[in-house]
């Protein structure tokens, strides 16, 4: 298999993976295109051409990725166009923000259980068991994920990376 075919296959595989986690396939394809291009920066027209996709679908997916801080728009001095590039320095911070949702879901499951306890219908045992399971799962995630991030931080520092307090990569000085 030649390199270009391998790149196209990887771009499609990343698109499928993004779709599996609930994001648009086009968002994953954009990430794949950016990761396989040197330099890792492409304009909207270049992305459209590389992906064989329309401006609207690429633009909508790129906007979503920017809002999620997975990619960012950049301006290059002397260029009229804007470019997109991966925001690798924001990856851990992105996941940290996502982990906060587990704490919130744990709190909401507690609220649901309190409502159920107040109503106390006889047929609520199965629902109570399910809600308790979810509450405990989200509670476990909200405790364990920050620990995993700290372990990751220790691990990558052994390889010479430096992180800011919010888990973003320190920029080169």
In a domain, 167, yes or no: no
Q: Quick one: 56 and 120 in the same domain? A: no
Lowest-pLDDT range of 36-50, 60-74, 157-171: 157-171
**3 state SS of 77:** coil
Domain residues for 120? 90-157
**3 state SS of 122:** helix
- pLDDT digits 0-9 by tens, 103-117: 999 999 999 999 988
Residue 99's CB is within 10 A of a number of other CB atoms, namely 16
Q: Quick one: 64 and 9 in the same domain? A: yes
pTM beyond 0.75, yes or no: no
- pLDDT digits 0-9 by tens, 2-33: 999 999 999 999 999 999 999 999 999 999 99
What's the number of domains the chain is made of?
Answer: 2
- Helix axes of 125-157 and 91-119: crossing angle, nearest 10 degrees: 160
- pLDDT digits 0-9 by tens, 50-88: 999 999 999 999 999 999 889 999 998 998 899 999 987
Instruction: Choose the final residue of a domain: 86, 101, 117.
Output: 86
Q: Quick one: 54 and 129 in the same domain? A: no
CA dist., res. 4 & res. 18, Å (int): 21
Preceding omega of 39 cis (within 30 degrees of 0): yes
């Amino acid at each position: 298999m030649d390199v270009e075919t391998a790149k196209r296959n990887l771009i499609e595989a990343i698109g499928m993976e993004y779709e599996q986690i609930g994001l648009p396939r086009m968002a994953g394809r954009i990430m794949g295109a950016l990761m396989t291009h040197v330099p890792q920066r492409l304009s909207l027209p270049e992305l459209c051409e590389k992906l064989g996709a329309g401006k609207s679908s690429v633009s909508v997916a790129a906007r979503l990725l920017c809002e999620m801080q997975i990619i960012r728009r950049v301006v290059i001095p002397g260029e009229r166009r804007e470019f997109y590039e991966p925001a690798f320095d924001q990856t851990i911070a992105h996941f940290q923000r996502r982990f906060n949702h587990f704490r919130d879901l744990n709190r909401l499951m507690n609220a649901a259980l309190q409502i159920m306890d107040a109503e106390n219908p006889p047929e609520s045992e199965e629902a109570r068991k399910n809600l308790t399971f979810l509450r405990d799962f989200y509670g476990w995630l909200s405790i364990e994920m920050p620990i995993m991030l700290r372990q990751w931080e220790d691990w990558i520092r052994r390889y010479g990376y430096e992180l800011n307090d919010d888990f973003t990569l320190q920029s080169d000085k």
